[in-house]
């Protein structure tokens, strides 16, 4: 592997000094890949307009083809953060307009590219904000194959397209999960629930392993509903949620089990593939009746413990 800085007509940061990540990685066989620390991009999905594609300027790598906004990662930057940063720099995507759904990684050992598929939460019109784009357009999903696509995006598009209809969501029986660990939770139920919420947020922000959800891709960022009851209902509202973490607090007005079943049913109606977390057998049977997949509290605890 060789690191080569860009030439005079090759990609650079549009503003400020060049980042050390802005360089070519050259394989022993001669292939060039942009980004010393890898690269990442965003496939933004709007339910009414399709996906956002970028028509690459002629002097860029595979110029003239269509792909997604993206670019080189910075040193110590996560692929998720880098992909969303690059999308903002290249397409003017506003803060808070996207929520990551899943990430797919092409790992060549010497270099990697992460495609982050993100749902549009607030509609926006893209803006060409650097010299790397000829056009930015919303393209209907059925029309993507009609464009001359960047080879890398063309290779990944069939799998990405097949996953665009997959929407996992998780419902957590907070009382059951908290009660499965004898750490003194009974002395401060609200505090224990708050700690669980913080752990859930960190877990989802880092991305849930696809194998753990029995799904394809590499990592998913599913919305999570944490249902609290009794004294735990007094926990404060969620704060500092990020583009990679949506952990909603659902406060049961009556029986917690009823609220959990209602939340699973609501998410299922919206088209989500619901995973409910509880070790309560009676509740598990009710959740199975509404089409949710049930996992025990230990399943969730093991995953949160394994988070780097």
Q: How far apart are CA 264 and CA 172, in angstroms?
A: 10
Contact partners, residue 202, CB within 8 Å, separation at least 6: 245, 304, 307
Q: How far apart are CA 248 and CA 278, in angstroms?
A: 17
The pLDDT value recorded for residue 27 is: 86
Q: How far apart are CA 160 and CA 96, in angstroms?
A: 23
For the stretch 205-232, what's the b/e string if a residue is b when 16 or more beta carbons lie within 10 angstroms of its beta carbon? bbbbebebbebebbbbbbbbbbbbbeeb
Q: Among 286, 296, 298, 240, which residue's Cα sits nearest to residue 261?
A: 286
The pLDDT value recorded for residue 148 is: 96
DSSP 3-state of 213? helix
The residues pairing with 139 across neighbouring beta strands, listed in sequence order, are: 51
DSSP code, position 35: -
8 Å CB contact between 44 and 120: yes
Q: Give the mean pLDDT per block of 10 residues along the chain (308 residues).
A: 55 58 85 88 96 86 86 91 92 91 92 94 90 91 96 94 94 96 90 94 90 88 94 80 74 94 93 95 97 96 84
Domains present along the chain, CATH in parentheses = 2-163 (3.90.79.10), 168-306 (3.40.50)
For the stretch 93-124, what's the b/e string if a residue is b when 16 or more beta carbons lie within 10 angstroms of its beta carbon? beeebbbbbbbbebeeeebbbbbbbbbbeeeb
pTM of the model: 0.85
The pLDDT value recorded for residue 240 is: 53
Sheet holding 224-228, edge to edge: 247-251, 224-228, 168-173, 273-277, 293-295
Rounded to a whole number of angstroms, the distance between the first and last alpha carbons of the chain is: 28
Token look-up 């919206």 returns 270
The pLDDT value recorded for residue 5 is: 56
The pLDDT value recorded for residue 216 is: 87
8 Å CB contact between 276 and 168: no
């Amino acid at each position: 592997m060789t690191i080569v800085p860009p030439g005079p007509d090759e990609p650079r940061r549009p503003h400020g000094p060049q980042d050390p990540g802005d360089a070519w990685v050259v394989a022993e066989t001669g292939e060039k890949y942009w980004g010393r620390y890898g690269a990442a991009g965003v496939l933004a999905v709007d339910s009414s307009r399709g996906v956002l594609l970028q028509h690459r300027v002629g002097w860029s790598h595979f110029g003239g083809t269509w792909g997604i906004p993206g670019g080189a990662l910075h040193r110590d930057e996560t692929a998720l953060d880098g992909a969303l940063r690059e999308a903002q720099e290249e397409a003017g995507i506003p803060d808070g307009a996207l929520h990551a759904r899943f990430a797919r990684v092409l790992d060549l050992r010497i270099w990697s590219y992460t495609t982050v598929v993100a749902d549009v939460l607030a509609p926006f019109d893209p803006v060409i904000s650097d010299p790397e784009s000829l056009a930015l357009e919303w393209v209907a999903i059925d029309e993507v194959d009609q464009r001359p696509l960047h080879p890398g995006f063309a290779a990944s598009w069939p799998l990405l397209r097949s996953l665009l209809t997959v929407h996992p969501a998780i419902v957590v029986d907070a009382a059951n999960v908290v009660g499965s660990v004898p750490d003194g939770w009974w002395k401060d139920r609200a505090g224990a629930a708050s700690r669980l919420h913080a752990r859930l947020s960190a877990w989802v922000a880092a991305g849930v392993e696809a194998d753990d959800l029995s799904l394809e891709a590499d990592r998913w960022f599913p919305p999570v509903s944490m249902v609290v009851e009794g004294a735990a209902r007094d926990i404060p509202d969620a704060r500092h949620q990020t583009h990679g973490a949506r952990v909603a607090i659902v406060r049961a007005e009556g029986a917690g089990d009823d609220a959990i079943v209602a939340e699973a049913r609501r998410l299922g109606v919206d088209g989500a593939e619901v995973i409910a977390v509880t070790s309560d057998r009676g509740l598990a049977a009710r959740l199975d009746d509404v089409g949710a997949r049930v996992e025990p509290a230990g399943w969730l605890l093991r995953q949160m413990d394994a988070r780097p």
